[in-house]
Chain A
Amino acid sequence: MKKVGVVRFLGTNCDRDIWQACETKGYQPEWLWHEDNFDINNYEAVIIPGGFSYGDYLRCGAMAAKSPVMKSVVEFAESGKPVLGICNGFQILCEVGLLPGALVRNTKGMFVDKWIELKTENPCEHWGASVKESKLPIAHGEGRFHIEPDQLEKIKKSGQIWLTYKENPNGSVEDIAGVLNENKNVAGLMPHPERAMFDWMGGNDGFSFF
């Protein structure tokens, strides 16, 4: 059974949903507390759930990126194992430098909370490898993906653009909804696959992401 570490910060609020998603898929989830380091050999994958870590103070994900648990996550990612960051988890992975770019306030300044259609540009072998198109919920105020033009060219060439929105909800550069690192073992996305596991949730496209 696949053992998955689920990171919890003060202010994480999608942790139970991720736990449930892991159990649904037959994985064995285990909490990883933000103040602790962990042994990277104990887990086969790590997920950083969404929420508002450290109250989103300073910048989204800024302080979470400096927490002890993230030192282990970086070590884990550098060993080539799969890491997934969702929403605030994506913001944290960008802040810690495991993913390119940054996430800033939505163009219209409004929090967006709705279902949205996505296209997979470059599949990620660890998370939703077979998904070509999907419909997932988004819920964020700071989800506009920002990246410098030269870096954008670089990630385009290296196939690091994972997911794009069919209709851009937040002003993200090139409609980007999710990116991968160069090694393709670290992935981050703003939409919430864990909120779309079954039909009764409004859709089940998230099921294939885990």
Chain B
Amino acid sequence: MKVGVKILPRKEVLDSQGRTVTKTLQSNKFSVSDCKVGKYLEIEVDAKTEQEALDEVKKMAEFVLYNPLTESYNLEVL
């Protein structure tokens, strides 16, 4: 089973990459008020149910994939 992990910088943390992309889009006449840049991971796990897969990937996320001080994450079964 495949689980997607979306990791984005927390709003309290300055996202310099997102800010740079925002400015580039704005200066090329796109109407953008904000943009965040994060990471997306697709993880293939051996699991019998969706819940089992999500639980397993949640453990991985908390183990190493994200830093709770600076980032937040979301999981989705693909």
A154: Cβ under 8 A from any B Cβ? no
Question: How far, in Å, is B26 (CB) from chain A's closest CB?
Answer: 11
Whether B28 lies near A66 (C-beta < 8 A) is yes
- Report, nearest first, the 7 A-B pairs whose CB atoms are least far apart: A57-B17, A63-B24, A57-B20, A54-B20, A66-B28, A66-B24, A58-B21
A128: Cβ under 8 A from any B Cβ? no
Alpha-carbon separation in the docked complex, A54 to B24 (Å) = 10
Which residues, 50 to 94 on A, are CB-close (under 8 Å) to B?
A: 54-55, 57-58, 63, 66-68
Q: Can you identify 11 A-B contacts, CB atoms within 8 angstroms? A: A54-B24, A55-B16, A55-B17, A57-B16, A57-B37, A58-B17, A58-B37, A63-B20, A63-B24, A67-B24, A68-B27
Whether B24 lies near A55 (C-beta < 8 A) is no
Name the residue on B nearest A57 (C-beta).
Answer: B17
Question: How far, in Å, is A146 (CB) from chain B's closest CB?
Answer: 21
Name the residue on B nearest A64 (C-beta).
Answer: B24
Interface 0/1 of A23-36, CB less than 8 Å to B = 00000000000000
Whether B28 lies near A55 (C-beta < 8 A) is no
Alpha-carbon separation in the docked complex, A89 to B27 (Å) = 21
Question: How far, in Å, is B30 (CB) from chain A's closest CB?
Answer: 10
Name the residue on B nearest A63 (C-beta).
Answer: B24
Residues of B within 8 A of A54 (CB): 20, 24
Which residues, 118 to 175 on A, are CB-close (under 8 Å) to B?
A: none
Residues of A within 8 A of B20 (CB): 54-55, 57-58, 63
Question: How far, in Å, is A66 (CB) from chain B's closest CB?
Answer: 6
Name the residue on B nearest A10 (C-beta).
Answer: B20
Whether A57 lies near B21 (C-beta < 8 A) is yes
